[in-house]
Amino acid sequence: MTRIRGEPSGSLFLEILGTNVSVSAALFLGVVTAGLATLPAAIVSGALAGYSWGQALPLLGGDGFARHLLPHMPLELASIAVAAGAGLVPLVAWVRSGIGRRRLDRAGWWLQFVDASRLWGVSLLGLVAAAGVETWVST
């Protein structure tokens, strides 16, 4: 199925942002599931991004690839990676607490959640910027 995007507009921006935020939220869900939801979501997201890039390059050619993907994709992928990192914070904290370190109490787990939430906030800011670039530069 081929999808042709419309002209740059606020509704296109919101559509792109909504899609990216939903992927980011799925990755951040690891905060609730001790990182277990983040692992498969990151694998699937990475595989789909790689497949999409692999399909886009021959289809668009070098010039089209540079015009329609390169302006926004590095920022978008970096923001998605930060969301994955945020979702893995509890799993990393749990593993680190079992490797000769002091066990985390409730306050420690709360601080891990706060750190993960801050990371996700950074991810969301990056996705807003990436959606703007994708809407008004890459289309």
Report the C-alpha gap between 55 and 61 in whole angstroms. Answer: 10
What's the rounded mean pLDDT across residues 82-105? Answer: 81
Q: What is the pLDDT of residue 139?
A: 73
Instruction: Give residue 2's pLDDT band: very low, low, confident or very high (50, 70, 90).
Output: very low
pLDDT digits (tens, 9 = 90+) for 36-53: 889 899 899 889 888 887
Whole-number mean pLDDT of the chain? Answer: 84
Single pTM value for the model: 0.81
pLDDT at site 119 = 94
